[in-house]
Amino acid sequence: MSKTILGILASGRGSNMQAICNSIDAGLLHAKVGLVISDKANAKVLEHAAAKGIPAICIERKDFPSKQEFEAAIAQQLTLYHVDLVVLAGFMRILSAYFVNLFSGSIMNIHPSLLPAFPGLDAHEQAIAYGAKVSGCTIHFVDEGMDTGPIIMQQAVSILADDTVETLSERILAVEHKLYPQAIRLYCEQRLCIEGRNVKII
């Protein structure tokens, strides 16, 4: 069986990208990272990708007259590298319906809360401010909304009485690094079936 080609979109340091690469290197994930794209020229993820010999490209929003043209440029590169699954790993832009429809059912995202609780930015801050006792992370398929797509996997992380945004973030990130490669493996094994809002693992 041929390897599933991943296209990773990230805006920051790329720790989830590294976790995915580690799983591939360990033989736990039958996939290949074909391309890494960032919308930030100084994003560390580009350095990490290049160090691993992975094609790494910066596509910045300011270089395009419209959001659709920006997304079309990203889509063009993903297609050029024959990407099967688009993996959002800290990509800090909301994708439009235009882009989502181009890769329908083949875009995955990870969010640092138990969705539908605390969507959007500053999820850890939201959870602590709300007084929640549990947070965690969610891996979901991307639809046209913000963090609203069908949920693939979730794992809970307790919020401790003395937690700060930093300490909670660190513990949830450790879970993200384990869970994201697992969800991608299920996709590669064609074991994810989307039925409306439900994702069934078969």
Neighbours of 79 (CB within 10 A): 12
pLDDT at 138: 98
Please indicate if the annotation marks 109 as binding a ligand: yes
Tell me the two tokens of residue 144.
């046209």
Residue 107's DSSP bridge partners are 86
Q: Is 191 annotated as a binding residue?
A: no
Q: Please, which residues bridge with residue 10 across strands?
A: 38
Give the DSSP letter of residue 164: -
Predicted model pTM: 0.96
User: Does the annotation flag 42 for ligand binding?
Assistant: no
Q: Give me the pLDDT at residue 183, please.
A: 98
pLDDT-derived band of residue 3, with 50, 70 and 90 as boundaries? very high
Whether 111 is catalytic: yes
The reply, when asked if residue 14 is annotated as ligand binding, is: yes
Instruction: Give pLDDT tens digits for 143-172.
Output: 998 999 999 999 999 999 999 999 999 999
Which of residues 99 and 2 earns the better pLDDT score? 99
The token pair that represents 174 in the structure block? 């450790």
- Active-site pick, 30, 48, 111, 140: 111
Query: Over the chain, what is the mean pLDDT?
Result: 96
Q: What is the pLDDT of residue 54?
A: 97
What amino acid occupies position 41? A
* Percent of the chain topping pLDDT 90: 97
- CATH code of the domain occupying 4-201: 3.40.50.170
Q: Are strands 192-195 and 4-10 parallel, antiparallel or unpaired?
A: unpaired
pLDDT digits (tens, 9 = 90+) for 100-124: 999 999 999 999 999 999 999 999 9
Q: How confident is the model at residue 19 (pLDDT cuts 50, 70, 90)?
A: very high
pLDDT at 34 over 90: yes
**Residue 67, pLDDT score:** 95
> According to the annotation, is 136 in a ligand binding site?
no
Assess whether pLDDT exceeds 90 at residue 9. Answer: yes
Instruction: Judge whether residue 1 has pLDDT over 90.
Output: no
Does 38 have pLDDT greater than 80?
yes
Cross-strand bridge partners of residue 141: 108
Ordered by start, the domain boundaries in the chain are: 4-201
CB 85 within 8 A of CB 185: no
61 is in an annotated binding site: no
The mean pLDDT value for 40-61 works out to: 95
Give the tokens for residue 68.
């659709």
